[in-house]
């Protein structure tokens, strides 16, 4: 469908000299009228900046799955309850029966950008991403508008006049929801709803809704609920009949003695209950994280290196995990398809074992509530020996993806007082990416490799680079291990680096590099070198 503008007002000529202050003010006033109002039905048109449906941890360029993705039984379950197209349950005679039409939520997107901190292209990419988020949450995106202003309006986010224009667009499109590309305060949301006369939500609410739909494990559900409550607490709305306002003397209704509210208003009671529930959830999440800490400690004790896969929500992390380990993790053409961390065993080309851990995806302006709630999950990254940072090479702004992920990880390292973990960048979807973009990324990122989880291109090089950057055992020794201690020889091969091996009459002679813990066990079999 063709692009539709909010207004036909256009300036046909450019001033020959620099614009005056009044002209700049007029241009800002008219920016909303010249803003984009694209029809974003379906997958849209990427040439117009329309959002592309992306695959969280899958491949956005295909709806099919390779054999590396496994049976995808979880995906079949997720799609089992989706409405089948082409079927209708509409009644021909509704005189006796009330009928409500089943349909997706119809939304209009609204964004604000300032030339002081971003350019228009970045704002359009952000709006594209919001469109994909809204579609993943289960809505039908009708149109999107952008407005340039120095700062969002404190009362209505867009400003009263521009909010009126948005209300006209909502009425024309028949929308029932407005999604703003930012985090709204309670007053901004209420003020905008009063003008547009439909429900208003912000970017954070959409992301939280997606997480609530996709959370599967007990810990994941608890983390999402905690994030939702943290978001809801400062936004509780009340002050009407249902909130039981306290009053003394003659109140508005004319009642006096006997009409006063309880000692604690309903909104205060709700806040207290939410805080109690949040405290309980934090205790539960902390208890659930104990098992992960114990497993991680066991891996460290056995000197098994760990690699964490981190990256943007549509970069193809789960597809890459499936390709490297055959994990069979869910892959879907949707944002944040997988939330629960998955740890799988892998090995280097020479046979050294290590673990690969898939983590939750990142996104621009990731809600701090989610970062806080999923902190125990993100600790996998801080505790790993290497971070495999996956970036979508076919995305319009891969550098922005890299910066967004690194910003969250930097905050995580700072809070834990830990040093940044070594990073290997995997530029995924190389089979559909622009060669110039790939070349630019590989030149800018000193430690990067181009791969395709779908076709397998570059996987061998990626495995070799991972093996090179895993920590190497630092204790070198020469031992002669008796044949009845084959378990020690096996551990040297699996957790150490064998430089030379010979079978003698007394046992297996090994020249190897091992971890200090294993070196202590082998000390009794150490051979003394003679001059």
Partners of 81 in beta bridges: none
Query: Per-residue confidence at 83, pLDDT binned at 50, 70, 90?
Result: very low
Q: How confident is the model at residue 529 (pLDDT cuts 50, 70, 90)?
A: low
pLDDT digits (tens, 9 = 90+) for 329-343: 666 656 776 666 778
> Where residue 57 falls among pLDDT bands split at 50, 70, 90?
very low
CB 141 within 8 A of CB 107: yes
10 Å Cβ neighbour count for 246?
Answer: 13
Judged by phi (left if over 0) then psi (alpha if -120 to 50, else beta), residue 59 lies in beta
Name the 3-class secondary structure at 40. Answer: coil
pLDDT of residue 37: 39
**Residue of 518 and 254 predicted with greater confidence:** 518
pLDDT at position 166 is 92
Strand-strand pairing, 353-358 and 306-311: parallel
pLDDT greater than 50 at residue 98: no
What is the structure's pLDDT at 240? 45
Per-residue pLDDT, 107 = 92
Torsion of CA 326, 332, 335, 339, to 10 degrees: -50
468-490 pLDDT, tens per residue?
A: 888 877 788 899 999 999 888 88
> At residue 102, does pLDDT exceed 50?
no
Q: Lowest mean pLDDT: which of 153-157, 182-186, 330-334, 501-505?
A: 330-334
Half-sphere exposure in the Cβ direction for 338 (13 Å, CA): 32
Average predicted confidence (pLDDT) for the chain? 75
Percent pLDDT > 90 in the chain is: 18
Question: With bands split at pLDDT 50, 70 and 90, how would you rate the model's confidence at 300?
Answer: low
What's the whole-number mean pLDDT along residues 293-307?
72
Cα–Cα nearest to 107, from 203, 217, 215: 203
CB atoms within 10 A of CB 215: 18
Q: pLDDT tens digits, residue range 233-246?
A: 888 765 444 444 44
3-state helix, strand, coil in the chain (%, to 5): 40, 15, 40
């Amino acid at each position: 469908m063709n692009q539709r503008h909010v207004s036909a007002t256009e300036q046909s000529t450019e001033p020959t000299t620099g614009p005056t202050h009044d002209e700049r003010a007029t241009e800002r006033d008219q920016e909303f009228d010249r803003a984009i109002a694209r029809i974003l039905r379906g997958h849209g048109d990427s040439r117009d900046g329309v959002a592309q449906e992306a695959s969280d941890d899958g491949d956005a360029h295909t709806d099919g799955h390779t054999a590396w993705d496994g049976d995808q039984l979880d995906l079949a379950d997720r799609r089992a309850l989706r409405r089948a197209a082409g079927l209708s349950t509409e009644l021909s005679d509704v005189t006796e029966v009330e009928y409500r039409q089943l349909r997706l939520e119809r939304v209009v997107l609204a964004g604000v950008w300032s030339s002081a901190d971003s350019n228009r292209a970045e704002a359009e990419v952000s709006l594209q991403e919001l469109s994909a988020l809204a579609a993943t949450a289960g809505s039908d995106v009708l149109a999107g508008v952008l407005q340039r202003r120095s700062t969002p309006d404190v009362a209505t986010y867009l400003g009263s006049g521009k909010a009126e224009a948005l209300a006209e667009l909502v009425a024309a499109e028949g929308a029932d929801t407005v999604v703003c590309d930012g985090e709204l305060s309670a007053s901004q949301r209420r003020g905008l709803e009063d003008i547009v006369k439909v429900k208003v939500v912000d970017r954070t609410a959409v992301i939280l809704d997606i997480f609530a739909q996709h959370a599967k494990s007990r810990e994941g559900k608890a983390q999402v609920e905690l994030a939702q409550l943290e978001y809801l607490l400062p936004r509780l709305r009340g002050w009407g009949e249902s909130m039981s306002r306290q009053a003394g003397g003659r109140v508005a209704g004319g009642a006096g003695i006997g009409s006063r509210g309880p000692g604690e208003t309903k909104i205060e009671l709700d806040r207290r209950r939410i805080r109690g529930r949040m405290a309980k959830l934090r205790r539960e999440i902390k208890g659930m994280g104990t098992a992960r800490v114990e497993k991680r400690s066991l891996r460290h004790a056995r000197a098994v290196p760990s690699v964490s896969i981190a990256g943007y929500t549509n970069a193809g992390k789960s597809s890459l995990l499936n390709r490297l380990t055959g994990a069979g993790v869910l892959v879907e053409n949707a944002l944040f398809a997988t939330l629960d961390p998955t740890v799988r065993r892998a090995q280097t080309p020479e046979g050294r074992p290590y673990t690969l851990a898939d983590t939750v995806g990142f996104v621009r302006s990731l809600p701090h509530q989610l970062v806080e709630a999923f902190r125990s999950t993100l600790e996998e990254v801080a505790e790993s020996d290497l971070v495999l940072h996956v970036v979508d090479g076919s995305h319009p702004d891969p550098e922005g993806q890299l910066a967004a992920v690194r910003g969250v990880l930097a905050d995580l390292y700072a809070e834990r007082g830990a040093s940044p973990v070594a990073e290997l960048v995997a530029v995924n979807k190389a089979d559909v990416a622009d060669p110039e973009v790939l070349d630019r990324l590989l030149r800018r990122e000193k430690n990067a490799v181009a791969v395709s989880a779908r076709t397998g291109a570059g996987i061998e090089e990626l495995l070799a680079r991972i093996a090179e950057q895993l920590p190497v055992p630092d204790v070198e020794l020469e031992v002669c291990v008796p044949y009845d201690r084959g378990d020690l020889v096996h551990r040297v091969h699996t957790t150490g680096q064998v430089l030379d091996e010979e079978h003698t009459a007394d046992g297996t002679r090994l020249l190897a590099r091992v971890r200090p813990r294993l070196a202590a066990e082998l000390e009794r079999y150490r051979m003394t070198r003679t001059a």
